[in-house]
Structure 1
Amino acid sequence: MVPQDGERGCPKCGHTETDVGEISTTGGGLSKMFDIQTNSFNVVSCANCGYSELYRDTTSGTSDIVDIFLG
């Protein structure tokens, strides 16, 4: 079920349960050469269909990120 106007949920399937994880990646140049993780992202994934979005890591917490993902 896709959410109706005013409803919140996954942009793809409308489901409202999420999983939140973290990934780190290397940048370019020397950080890549020495495998130094310079970029950190939170990954919010729909628990139903697996649709995922990446958000640059911030110190505001994951609840704000889930709110952005669900609309």
Structure 2
Amino acid sequence: MENGCIKCGSQDADTKEVAMTGAGFAKFFDVQNNQFTVVFCNNCGYSEFYNQNASKTGSVLDFFFGG
């Protein structure tokens, strides 16, 4: 069973896809080449970022809740 948010224990979480700029030339030209899934608690706002390339297996919500 899921433990809930590590900060407040809430089971109410959601996800959002975000892109961020890297370093070097990517930063200079504002190329957002880093893709992440953000899992956030709707109760307290605690957030965790998961690299989309590294977290394709399993649900990021399972990782967030410690499953």
TM-score surpassing 0.5?
yes
Structure 2 gap segments, 5+ residues each: none
Structure 1 pair 21–7 and aligned structure 2 pair: CA distance change class (3 A): closer
CA RMSD of aligned residues (A): 1.9
Shift of residue 23, structure 1, vs aligned partner: 1.4
Q: Counterparts of 2:15 and 2:27 in 1: how far apart (Å)?
A: 26
Greater relative contact order (CA < 8 Å, ≥ 6 in sequence)? 2
Unaligned runs of 5+ in 1: 1-5
The structure that has the greater radius of gyration is 1
User: Larger helix proportion, structure 1 or 2?
Assistant: 1
Pair 1:35 & 2:30 matched? yes
Q: What TM-score, normalized to structure 1? A: 0.79
- State TM-score, norm by structure 2: 0.83
Aligned length: 65
After TM superposition, where is structure 1 displaced by more than 3 Å over at least 4 residues in a row? none
